[in-house]
Amino acid sequence: MRNFFYLLYKSFVDVAALIVVLFFFQLFVIGEPFPDMAKMITGLVLVVFGLFVFMRGLEMALFPIGESMAYSFAEKGNIWLLVLFASAIGYTTTIAEPSLIAIAGKAEIITNNKISAFGLRNAVAIGVAVGIAIGTLRIILGHPIHYYIITGYITVMAMTVVAPKEIIGLAYDSGGVTTSTVTVPLVTALGVGLASSIAGRNPLVDGFGLIAFASLAPILSVMCYGLLVL
């Protein structure tokens, strides 16, 4: 029970700053009391408890699964099977992301069906899959991550010049919605597990960074999609 309350306390600390900001702006900037304080407090309690349950679930399930799968694929010695698995994880978790579904639906309505919601979701998901595949290969090959990131952002800036202006903002937003609550922990666990299973790799230096690829690649894929449909 002591450990339970300690973890619950840590979850509260994680959202404490958000609570302070909400109360400060509501009471001192807007200058109005909360319309329903009871619901507000109940909602905050549920957020804290939900975060606690979510983090425990990650620690108990997703992180061990991602790391064990990375170990298993590394032991098999089949690089392309590992890359295919990483890509499949990226695609399937992204295509079902609720925030991406919402954005894609709005984009379809605003553009009068010039942009297909399903097409946009696939463009983003494919971008994530490709990005994670490249990130996985980087870990296997041991290349420094900054070379890839710098090259990626230079390419993004170049694509921004030639892409249709209607798609640019949407493309940059798409890079953000890919960092979902399922993709991030599972992909991070995959990267750390893979780096831990390869001799000479540092899990801290080499294991992290896959999410950067998952956020960068969709920007390019959506811009390419825009060039095709707009």
Q: Are residues 48 and 155 in the same domain?
A: no
Most confident listed range (86-90, 193-197, 222-226): 222-226
**Which residues are CB-neighbours of 197 under 8 A, at least 6 positions away?**
70, 71, 74, 75
pLDDT score, position 14? 80
Question: What is the span of the domain harbouring residue 211?
Answer: 78-229
Q: How far apart are CA 39 and CA 67, in angstroms?
A: 40
Q: Is residue 63 part of a domain?
A: no
Q: Are residues 82 and 167 in the same domain?
A: yes
Q: Is residue 73 part of a domain?
A: no
Q: Are residues 82 and 47 in the same domain?
A: no
Q: Is the dihedral of CA 98, 94, 146, 153 positive or negative?
A: negative
Q: Is residue 69 part of a domain?
A: no
pTM assigned to the model:
0.77
How many domains, in total, are found in the chain? 2
Amino acid of residue 44: L
Q: Is residue 154 part of a domain?
A: yes
Q: Is residue 30 part of a domain?
A: yes
Amino acid of residue 7: L
Q: Is residue 109 part of a domain?
A: yes
* Residue-wise pLDDT tens digits, 157-181: 999 999 998 899 889 988 887 776 6
Q: Is residue 82 part of a domain?
A: yes
Q: Are residues 144 and 181 in the same domain?
A: yes
Q: Rounded mean pLDDT of 122-147? A: 90
Q: Where are the alpha helices (DSSP H) in the chain?
A: 2-24, 37-57, 63-76, 79-95, 98-110, 117-141, 145-162, 165-177, 183-197, 203-206, 210-229
Q: Are residues 91 and 166 in the same domain?
A: yes
Q: Classify the phi-psi angles of 142: left when phi > 0, otherwise alpha if psi is within -120 to 50, otherwise beta.
A: left
* Residue-wise pLDDT tens digits, 24-73: 888 888 887 778 888 888 888 888 888 788 778 777 776 777 667 777 77
